[in-house]
Amino acid sequence: MGNNYLQDLVGYFHSYKAQDIDAETLRQVKRTLIDYLGCSIYAAKHDCCPQLLNLIKSMGRGEGTTSIWGEREKVLPALAAFANGARTSNIELDDCSGIGASVHPGVYVWSAALAAGEHMEAAVADVLPAVVFGYDICMRLGLMATAKVRDLGLHGPGLVGGLAAAATAGMIYGLSPEQLQHALALAGSLLPLCPFVSFIEGADAKDFYGGWGAYLGLVAVEGAKQGLTGARGILDGPKSLKAIFADDRAADAPPGSHLYINDISFKEFPACYSVHPAMTVVLDLVEHHPIDPDQIQEVLVDTYPYSYDLDKGVGDDLNPSSARLSLSYTVAYALIEGCLSPEAFTPEKLRDERYLTLRKKIKVTKNEAYGAGPFGRRGCIISIRFQNGALIQGETDAPRWKVPPADDQLVDKFRTLTQGALTPEKQQLLLDFVWQLEKQTGLEPLLKCLREL
């Protein structure tokens, strides 16, 4: 019996070593870590989703060896990955796919990598290839599942993330190829459905999505270590997940022919990617025109179909999660403040009459020309009419960070997110550590900084 898709990927990456990573891919590994750290440190410092964090800590007090950022008491590795992943994803600023796969790989891959790395006191040389593997699994399977994810109304990152976490942690724990296949199959057998409605309503359940996959991946790895098995044909056997992972995208790309971490897109704004095109247009208009929000008569946001559908589902009563899908709120905030920062989604800001008043003047329409499928253009046209009759208008076919940001832009993002948590000296120490990652022996200096937030 020949190998299947997962077995081929495991076979390739199990023998993949740090010295095999080309310079472009190594640089991208570092960029994803800088991005993860900025988001993760901000979320820890601002005590994101505290009720969920308390629940996670109550599941394993005094039993662990692994850190939740900013917490003194250590927990089991799976719980640390759960907590750090959930809080990091809460602010919707972690990396995502730049090629249409509905996934957020970094929050699962790096949460799993740092938890497993701390537990194993792993060498950086063992972590690097595991991270590349995790991103590959996440992006490949995300591409294969995205069309069905959209059809079923699911949250793609939450569905697929456990497989990425299992791949990453499994390599760091030193699983054999057979054990690693079983870890992936075990994770695949227990993938959560993650209905997108939790995000639309801003329910606390949505915060589980960013961490549960990391937790599941670590549990699956532990099960495989102890001899538990998963179905060999989890993706393509009879009555398997083949109805979900049904798209041919990435299915025919041989392992190693292309490393999908190089297709990552970074988020400029702390909101669902569906509002990023609108933010791109609004901030360009703000930069090039003197806009007095009090003189605005009407704003028309003509956006691509998926963005329109999500915005329509949100409704008027916003909370810190659902507001990240709202075109009317995010456009109003950006027009007034000239930015869209994480602070835009605090309860106080959501009650501010300035944004609420302008929001009532914003109309959202669907532009079918951009394409309705998951691989259509993420475009938006914004028209602003003023009380004196003047009209300004802008359009984009994609968010401006669709073209990957330069290193200094990612560093600026990191510094902005961590400025309340780290001194400039500590910021620079972390950045220097990451930019020289392949020369480090272990992760302890980085982990120490995260523990001491």
Averaged over 395-422, what is the pLDDT? 96
Answer yes or no: do 418 and 447 share one domain.
Answer: yes
For residues 394 and 410, membership in a common domain is answered with: no
The domain that contains 115 carries what CATH number? 1.10.4100.10
Cα–Cα distances in angstroms (integers) from residue 296 to residues 193, 335, 358, 393, in the given order: 42, 10, 8, 13
> What's the sign of the alpha-carbon dihedral 184, 134, 148, 326?
positive
Q: Identify the domain containing residue 363 by its residue range.
A: 273-400
Out of 55-59, 265-269, 324-328, 360-364, pick the least confident: 55-59
* Number of domains composing the chain: 2
Is 262 in the same domain as 334?
no
286 and 227 fall within a common domain: no
Domain boundary among 375, 400, 425: 400
- CA 114 to chain CA mean position, Å: 16
Cβ-contact 398, 377 below 8 angstroms: yes
The predicted-structure confidence for 197-213, as pLDDT tens digits, reads as follows 999 999 999 999 999 99
Residue 50 and residue 106 share a domain:
yes
Do residues 369 and 445 share a domain?
Answer: no
- For residue 342, the domain's CATH number is 3.30.1330.120
Same structural domain for residues 49 and 67? Answer: yes
- pLDDT classification of 1: cutoffs 50, 70, 90: very low
Closest CA to 191 of 247, 232, 240: 240
Residue 349 above 50 pLDDT?
Answer: yes
Q: Would you call 182 exposed, middle or buried from its count of C-beta atoms within 10 A (0-12, 13-18, 19+)?
A: buried
pLDDT class for 236, splitting at 50, 70, 90? very high
Q: What is the pLDDT of residue 250?
A: 85
Q: Which of 400, 416, 434 is the last residue of a domain?
A: 400
67 and 110 in a single domain? The answer is yes
Statement: the pTM of the whole predicted model exceeds 0.95: yes
Q: Which of 374, 400, 426 is the endpoint of a domain? A: 400
Q: Are residues 254 and 290 in the same domain?
A: no
The pLDDT tens digits for 164-175 are 999 999 999 999
Rounded distance between C-alpha atoms, residue 167 and residue 136, angstroms = 9
CA distances from 160 to 65, 156, 272, 319 (A): 27, 6, 17, 26
Tell me the residue length of the chain: 453
Residues 169 and 278 grouped into a single domain: no
- Whether residues 35 and 79 fall in one domain: yes
Q: What is the DSSP letter of 442?
A: B
437 shares a domain with 359:
no
Residue 112's pLDDT is 98
Alpha carbons 311 and 304: distance in angstroms, whole number: 11
